[in-house]
């Protein structure tokens, strides 16, 4: 989809996060406390991103996951904005900004914390 098509499909907050690399306010996202079984997918294109079993409580204010649904479903890119070194997480299908990944989750099997904006996601419940 083009950016003009996405602007019509997405809410203003979703567009700002997904296409302009914005960040939603912490502790405000609709999926922060989501506990149902299912798959978190890209809000722009529906690409499967994070299975619910990899979600954990990080205390950061954003949904956090320790692994992706499938290798190749996300792109990791160096992000040196705001005078800090981080790793940006993008949807591999539509290249939308999702959030950042950090190597600070020692309590998880991978040690990773994919810190993702709720508004960049949709949730598909598994029945």
Active centre residues (catalytic): 115
Q: Which residue has the tokens 């994919």?
A: 114
Q: Tell me the two tokens of residue 96.
A: 């939308």
Q: Under 8 Å CB-to-CB from 111, ≥6 apart: which residues?
A: 66, 103, 104, 105
Tell me how long the chain is. Answer: 127
Q: Strands, DSSP E only, in the chain?
A: 38-42, 48-51, 55-56, 64-65, 74-79, 86-91, 97-102, 113-116, 121-125
């Amino acid at each position: 989809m083009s950016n003009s098509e996405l602007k019509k499909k997405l809410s203003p907050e979703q567009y700002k996060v997904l296409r302009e690399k914005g960040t939603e306010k912490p502790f405000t996202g609709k999926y922060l406390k989501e506990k149902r079984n299912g798959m978190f997918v890209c809000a722009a294109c529906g690409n499967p991103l994070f299975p619910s079993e990899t979600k954990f409580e990080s205390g950061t204010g954003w949904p956090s996951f320790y692994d992706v649904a499938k290798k190749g479903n996300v792109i990791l890119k160096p992000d040196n904005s705001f005078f800090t070194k981080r790793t940006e997480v993008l949807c591999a299908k539509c290249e939308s900004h999702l959030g950042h990944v950090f190597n600070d989750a020692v309590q998880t099997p991978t040690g990773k914390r994919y810190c993702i904006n709720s508004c960049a996601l949709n949730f598909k419940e598994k029945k």
